Structures are given as structure tokens and as C-alpha cells.
A and B are shown apart, each in its own frame.
Chain A
């Protein structure tokens, strides 16, 4: 069964706005990763946050992790049409990476 669950399932915003996606998981983890998938393509790694980290930045991406609430959020600032994709969180404990069902982001120009 899936470990991570993203919320919302779908999100539609205007170009230039910020997009926030959330991920909740059930068991303890070593790290949490976010991936992006453009339509019809493979997944691409975006960012990894370890269980002892609370926040991490990479360009326009900001990821937070709250292990007490078993949740993470991905913030994309100043979104662009090219950010239109599905975004997945993946958790790692003592088992291989387990992916959530994803958030489908549409950025309207």
C-alpha cells in the first residue's frame, strides 16, 4: 500500500502564483523525496530532505518536513507554465522508495 498521500489531487493556478502541495505518510522515515513527472515521461528527482532536517531550498522549490505530524510540503514559488506536471512524494524507511498518488499541477499562462 502507498505510504505517502499527496494533497490536493489536482491544483490549477495562474502563472506567477505560488503552488503548495502536501504529503502525509504513516510510518517513520529516513528521508522524503519529491519527484516531478511531465505528461508521458519518466519521473525526475527534485529534492530530498532527511528526517533530521526541517526545511530545504532548491531554486524556486522549498520543502518542509514535520516528522511529528508525518507530513511534508512542497512550495513552488513564482510558478511558470513549464511547471505544469504531476508531483509525487516518496518516502524511504527500511524498504524501497514508496510513492504517493501525486498532485497534478496546472499552471495557466
Chain B
């Protein structure tokens, strides 16, 4: 039981490049989400999903795309990276019995992906 697995752990991009941060969980969690963590800003929600085929925007969605084709995977795509997207990204999941959007359940976090955009 690996929990939430994020890849890569570290990535350096040039401005304008694209990339995908991968997130996979093996706990059959319906709810998955992406946060970014910046110094002094805490964690801010980017996108979330309450189940396969369903995604929604969080507090800071601009510049990021997501999809949820399977229960296990929730990739985060940066289409044209900008220096403002330099951050540590965390994927988190939880069990949601009735696809509620409240996020009331306890989140299990991945180890994080540190992205630097030059």
C-alpha cells in the first residue's frame, strides 16, 4: 500500500515549457486534489476532483489543467510554465462516500513535487 505517489520529486523548467506532474493513489479514494505551497502563503487549492470524470477549480486554477480519467490518477498539467509557478506541489486524496465536495474527510498527502521555473 503506497498511499499517494507523486512524480517527479524535483523538476526544473524554462519559461514556456510544458510538463505534467503525476499523482497516483492506491487507496480507492474518490476525492483527489492539488495544492501548491509557497513561503508565507500556506497551501492553496489549485484543482480538485470528487470522482472519475469530474473536476473543479480551486482558489488558484489559472495556468493549470487537470483531468480524472481513472479513480487512481489525477495529473496536473502546466501548459506554458511561468516563474510564478515555481512552488512545491502536493497531491492529496481522501475517501468520499457520496462524492461530497465538502472535503470533510481526512486528507492523505503525497511527498510533494518541487518545481522551479527559470
Contact = CB atoms under 8 A, between A and B. Distances in A.
Partners in one complex: yes
Nearest to A96: B103
Interface of B: 4, 33, 35, 40-45, 48, 58-59, 90, 92, 101-104, 106-112
Contact of B43 (A33, A41, A99): A99
Contacts of A97: 33, 45, 103, 107
A42 B101 contact: no
Interface centre among B40, B44, B101, B109 (most CB of A within 10 A): B109
Interface bracket on A: 20 to 34
Nearest to A40: B112
A85 interface: no
A31 interface: yes
B106 A42 contact: no
Given A92-B103, A94-B102, A95-B101, A102 B42 contact: yes
A33 B48 CA distance: 18
Contacts of B4: 42
A81 interface: no
A88 interface: yes
A73 to B, nearest CB: 18
